[in-house]
């Protein structure tokens, strides 16, 4: 429950109407714990027995759950109150929430007579709460003005001016209100001007409309606007971090004078503050004595030495004015507030959610984006003007998401001192972070890609300097410039990059990469494994045939060939090759997996489980979690064949494979297909969306084709021939180029059966027969609905 005192007097959610009781509760909420005697004398000054009157009202308050906290002679409120919440919100800088909470004047609905002291408290509190709400509205208006939202600033100022229950604005508020109202061209600006004139105040002319966009920095603006007379603030940051933009926004918020640092003559920077330019220290100090002056000096580094000396003296002497100074460096003297600006964070740009990803929060780039200008407009021009070594350092850093500084220095052939100075220069220029990361590097890369030869040369220099496990993307982008000695190292880098894809569970990406290097025999085996991973088994056999006769007998080549053969349904050939592999390495794990697969094809479940478990144990021994989980899935399939419940054996494995796409996709595939085989089609249907997504993420074309064939069979058997045909055609599209004759023949024969095309049906069976799939052909003929002969 909450006590409502703004615009009404009630307890939220309770029909309680005793005004004096609620007034007592409001007093306790706002003034804190009170002695009982003090309350009695304040609320019942004319009563015969004030303590008795208090006791009676406390009885009523005790009837409100959680209203009171009593401690001997003292009484306190334990219930939230909207007026107290408003004050707390303002203290915490939550001005928007505070303004929204103000629903009307404090205790404006009171109808009971009050003693003089209590009445004075009500009126004073009403003014104070309303002034707090007005201050919140004016702060919001100043922030809107700072960000270039003139109309919003004017509307907020108008609300502040006409706030119910608020006293007339004083000489401090009138200039701020006039500034915000004039900025928006609001008709109430004329009224404020008349009120100011009656108080003898001279208001500045209406400011020009603002078109410069500004985002973020709400916290910095609020901190600067809360500085009090005599205080000094310092704003530091590298070039482009928004120091000048912050001062411009501060000026738009009202009440600030912004001066540009100038070194033309002594005190040139401070000359606009007085009728005659200062010519000696006393005159400069006098210009900073006005406690109503709020002055910001843009660039300490550009100011003349005499101005710097005057500002140093003012920071120590506190003559009266609020002083803000910007610089690329930290303050050389003590200040009351130091703001060190860096890139804007995602929260600063929450009004423009796509902007941070495009700009990395770099203030200059944010400004360009808000104005609809190319992000390269200013930074690109600056970079092009730098000497070649500096420019190439920047570009080499921009080509890397996480720069390798050692490799970058090697690519530049710079000594450590030169490279460190160059990097420091780029950082102070606001082009890179302290770690060498280029802001909005994607934009630089996009522009660089338009200069193909120069970009390729930079990529090649990086590729040669980076470790092999990070070099491939740069070799890939510099192929046209490879020299003979680059090809061997590029092949090693490609092998490592493809292996990373395979380990992460993305065989499709590995296959796509190695497809482009099919002319290199050194990559035949990793290429074959990638092709097997996406179900292109015949392509894998073809790739392995490019090896010499000797290399084809090496363990990893034998294992890859055996796996490809068993998935093509040529189990006897696969088991024979597996028999040539010995030891306890990865090749032996593949050999055990081949034997398990052959046993599953013959539905010899105990042998299948045993060989799959051996393979899983070997993979676990070598730390390959993806292969370990995949093989455990095969063992789980065999356990179901021996009578286990599918969910019992598959659920723990799926949970373990959450972050390994390839393993998860294979486990899901086996689980869902198994459910369909067991007739649990409703359970399988629920899992199809997750399965399809997992297979797409893993790039598993074989798995996708398998799913479509199984779904086609389900639709076929239930009489949905149109749906079945769609699934079979989708499977055929996925199988195109994979070399998987077995699945292709199944899809073609089933589709031709639906179409009633006897010739196509026989062609599909001929295809399967030629691939040695005699048992499958016999099964299809038994199940076929098309009559193929008398």
How many C-beta atoms surround the C-beta of residue 531 within 10 A? 27
User: Can you give the pLDDT at residue 669?
Assistant: 85
- Whether 341 has a pLDDT exceeding 70, the answer reads yes
Beta strands in 460-502 (DSSP E): none
Structure tokens, 642: 């021996």
State the sign of the Cα–Cα–Cα–Cα dihedral 535, 538, 540, 543: negative
Long-range contacts of 67-73 (CB under 8 A, 24+ apart): 67/1, 67/11, 67/25, 68/28, 69/33, 71/33, 73/35, 73/36, 73/37
Could you tell me the pLDDT band of residue 206, with boundaries at 50, 70 and 90? low
Higher local confidence (pLDDT), 764 or 249: 249
Q: Where do the structural domains in the chain lie, given as residue ranges?
A: 3-126, 229-340, 376-482
Provide the pLDDT for residue 772. 57
Q: Is pLDDT above 50 for 786?
A: no
CB 676 within 8 A of CB 684: yes
pLDDT the model gives residue 790: 40
From CA 229, how far away is CA 238, in angstroms rounded?
Answer: 28
Which residue in the block uniquely carries the two structure tokens 């401690």? 71
What tens digit of pLDDT does each residue of 114-173 get? 889 999 999 999 999 999 999 899 888 887 887 777 888 889 999 999 999 999 998 878
Q: What are phi and psi of 489, to 5 degrees?
A: -65, -35
Kindly report the number of other CB atoms within 10 A of residue 37's CB atom.
12
User: Which residues are bridge partners to 76 per DSSP?
Assistant: 69
Cα(670)–Cα(108) distance, integer angstroms: 72
How, if at all, do strands 322-327 and 10-11 pair?
A: unpaired
CB-based burial, 414-451: b 16+ in 10 Å, e otherwise? beeeebeebbeebbebbbbbeebebbbbebbbebbeee
At residue 719 the predicted structure's pLDDT band, cuts being 50, 70 and 90, is confident
Q: Kindly state the greatest CA–CA separation across the chain.
A: 120
| Predicted pLDDT of residue 128 | 93
Task: Output the CA torsion 485→490→493→497 (10° steps).
Answer: 180
Neighbours of 676 (CB within 10 A): 19
Please say whether the beta carbons of 379 and 431 come within 8 A. yes
Mean of pLDDT over the chain: 85
What is the structure's pLDDT at 347? 87
Encoding tokens for residue 117?
A: 């002291």
CA distance 242 to 208: 21
Give the Cα separation of 154 and 340 in Å (integer).
Answer: 31
- Residue 471: which residues within 8 A CB-CB, separation 6 or more? 462, 463, 464, 489, 490, 493
Residue for token digits 């690109």?
380
- Tell me whether strands 74-77 and 34-35 are parallel, antiparallel or unpaired: antiparallel
**Terminal alpha carbon distance of the chain:** 87
Helices assigned H by DSSP within 49-208: 50-62, 82-91, 95-101, 116-146, 150-161, 173-183, 188-198
Domain at 229-340, CATH from 3.40.50, 2.60.40, 3.30.530, 3.30.1490:
3.40.50
Q: What is the mean pLDDT of residues 271-296?
A: 83
Using CA atoms, how far apart are residues 31 and 44, in angstroms rounded to an integer? 18
Q: Say whether 122 sits in a helix, a strand or coil.
A: helix
DSSP string, 616-635: HHHHHHTT-HHHHHHHHHHH
Residue 209 in this model has a pLDDT that exceeds 70 = no
Whether residue 235 has pLDDT greater than 90:
yes
Question: Is residue 210 scored above 80 in pLDDT?
Answer: no
Considering 267-276, 345-354, 642-651, the range whose residues carry the highest mean pLDDT is 642-651
d(CA 192, CA 47): 47
Amino acid 332: pLDDT: 93
Average pLDDT over residues 201-213: 61
Of 185-199, 370-384, 623-637, the range with the lowest mean pLDDT is 370-384
Give residue for tokens 């009224």. 191
What is the percentage of the chain residues whose pLDDT exceeds 90?
A: 32
DSSP-assigned states of every residue in 8-35? S-EETTB----HHHHHHHHHHHHH-SEE
Please, what's the b/e burial string for 456-487 (b: 16 or more CB within 10 A of its CB; e: otherwise)? Answer: bebbbbbbbbbebebbbbbbbbbeeeeeeebb
Q: Which comes out higher in pLDDT, residue 86 or 510?
A: 86
Is the torsion defined by CA of 384, 388, 394, 399 positive or negative? positive
CA distance 423 to 420: 5
Lowest mean pLDDT among 209-218, 336-345, 510-519, 642-651: 209-218
pLDDT at 106 over 90: yes
Residue-wise pLDDT for 541-553, tens only, equals: 989 998 888 988 9
CA nearest neighbour of 225 among 326, 138, 130, 148: 138
Looking at residue 207, its pLDDT comes to: 57
> Quick one: which H or E segment has residue 257?
strand 257-260
CA distance linking residue 176 with residue 586, whole number of Å: 76
What the block records as the tokens of 730 is 């989708």
pLDDT at position 208 is: 53
Give the C-alpha separation, 188 to 478, whole Å: 65
Cα 80 to the chain's mean position, in Å?
36
Q: Do 169 and 191 form a contact (C-beta atoms < 8 A)?
A: no
Give residue 375's pLDDT band: very low, low, confident or very high (50, 70, 90). low
What DSSP state is assigned to residue 519? T
């Amino acid at each position: 429950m909450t006590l409502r005192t703004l615009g009404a007097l009630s307890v939220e959610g309770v029909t309680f109407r005793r005004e004096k009781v609620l007034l007592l509760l409001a007093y306790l909420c706002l003034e804190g714990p009170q002695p009982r005697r003090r309350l009695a004398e304040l609320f019942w000054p004319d009563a015969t027995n004030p303590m008795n009157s208090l006791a009676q009202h406390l009885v009523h308050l005790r009837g409100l759950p959680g209203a009171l906290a009593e401690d001997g002679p003292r009484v306190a409120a334990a219930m939230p109150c909207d007026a107290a919440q408003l004050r707390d919100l303002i203290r915490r800088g939550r001005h928007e929430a505070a303004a929204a909470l103000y629903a009307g004047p404090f205790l404006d609905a009171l109808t009971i007579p009050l003693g003089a002291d209590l009445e004075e408290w009500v009126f004073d509190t009403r003014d104070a709460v309303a002034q707090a709400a007005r201050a919140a509205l004016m702060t919001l208006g100043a922030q809107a003005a700072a960000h270039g939202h003139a109309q919003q600033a004017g509307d907020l100022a108008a609300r502040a001016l006409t706030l119910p229950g608020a006293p007339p604005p004083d000489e401090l508020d009138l200039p701020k209100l006039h500034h915000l109202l004039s900025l928006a061209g609001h008709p109430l600006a004329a009224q404020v001007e008349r009120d100011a004139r009656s108080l003898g105040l001279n208001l500045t002319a209406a400011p020009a409309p603002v078109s410069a966009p500004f985002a973020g920095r709400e916290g910095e603006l609020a901190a600067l606007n809360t500085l009090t007379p005599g205080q000094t603030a310092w704003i530091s940051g590298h070039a482009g971090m928004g120091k000048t933009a912050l001062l411009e926004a501060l000026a738009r918020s009202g009440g600030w004078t912004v001066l540009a640092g100038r070194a033309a003559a002594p005190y040139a920077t401070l000359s606009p503050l007085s009728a005659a330019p200062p010519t000696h220290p006393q005159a400069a100090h006098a210009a900073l004595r006005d406690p109503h002056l709020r002055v910001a000096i843009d660039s300490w580094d550009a100011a003349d030495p005499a101005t710097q000396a005057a500002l140093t003296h003012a920071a120590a002497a506190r003559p009266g004015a609020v002083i803000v100074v910007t610089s690329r460096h930290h303050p050389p003297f003590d200040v009351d507030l130091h703001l060190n600006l860096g890139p804007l964070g995602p929260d600063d740009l929450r009004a423009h959610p796509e902007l941070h990803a495009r700009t990395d929060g770099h203030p200059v780039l944010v400004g360009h984006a808000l104005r609809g200008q190319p992000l390269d407009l200013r930074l690109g021009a600056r970079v092009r003007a730098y000497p070649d070594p500096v420019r190439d350092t920047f570009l080499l850093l921009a080509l890397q998401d996480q720069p390798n500084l050692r490799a970058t220095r090697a690519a530049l052939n710079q000594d450590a001192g030169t490279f460190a100075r160059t990097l420091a220069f780029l950082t102070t220029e606001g082009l890179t972070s302290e770690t060498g990361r280029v802001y909005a590097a994607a934009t630089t890369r996009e522009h660089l890609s338009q200069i193909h030869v120069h970009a390729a040369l930079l990529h090649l220099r990086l590729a040669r300097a980076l470790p092999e496990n990070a070099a491939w993307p740069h070799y890939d982008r510099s192929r046209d410039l490879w020299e003979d000695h680059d090809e061997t190292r590029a092949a090693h880098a490609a092998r490592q990059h493809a292996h990373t894809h395979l380990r992460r569970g993305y065989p499709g990406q590995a296959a796509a990469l190695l497809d482009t290097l099919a002319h290199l025999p050194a990559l035949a085996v990793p290429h074959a494994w990638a092709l097997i991973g996406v179900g292109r088994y015949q392509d894998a056999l073809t790739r392995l045939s490019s090896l010499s006769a000797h290399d084809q007998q090496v363990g990893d080549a034998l294992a890859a060939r055996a796996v490809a053969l068993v998935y093509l349904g040529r189990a006897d050939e696969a088991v024979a090759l597996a028999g040539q592999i010995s030891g306890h390495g990865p090749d032996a794990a593949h050999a055990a997996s081949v034997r398990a697969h052959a046993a599953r094809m013959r539905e010899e479940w105990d042998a299948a489980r045993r060989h799959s478990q051996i393979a899983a144990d070997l993979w676990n021994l070598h730390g390959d979690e993806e292969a370990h989980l995949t093989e455990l899935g095969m063992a789980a399939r065999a356990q179901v064949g021996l009578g286990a419940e599918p969910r019992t054996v598959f659920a723990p494995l799926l949970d373990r494979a959450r972050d390994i796409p390839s393993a998860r996709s294979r486990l899901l595939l086996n689980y869902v297909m198994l459910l369909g085989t067991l007739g649990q089609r409703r359970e399988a249907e629920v899992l199809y969306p997750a399965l399809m997504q997992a297979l797409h993420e893993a790039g598993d074309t074989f798995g996708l084709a398998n799913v479509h064939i199984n779904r086609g069979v389900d639709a076929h058997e239930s009489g949905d021939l149109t749906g079945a045909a769609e699934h079979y055609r989708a499977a055929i599209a996925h199988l195109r180029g994979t070399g998987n004759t077995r699945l292709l023949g199944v899809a073609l024969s089933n589709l031709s059966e639906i179409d009633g095309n006897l010739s196509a049906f026989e062609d599909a069976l001929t295809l399967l027969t030629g691939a040695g799939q005699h048992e499958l052909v016999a099964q299809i003929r038994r199940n076929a609905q098309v009559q193929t002969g008398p």
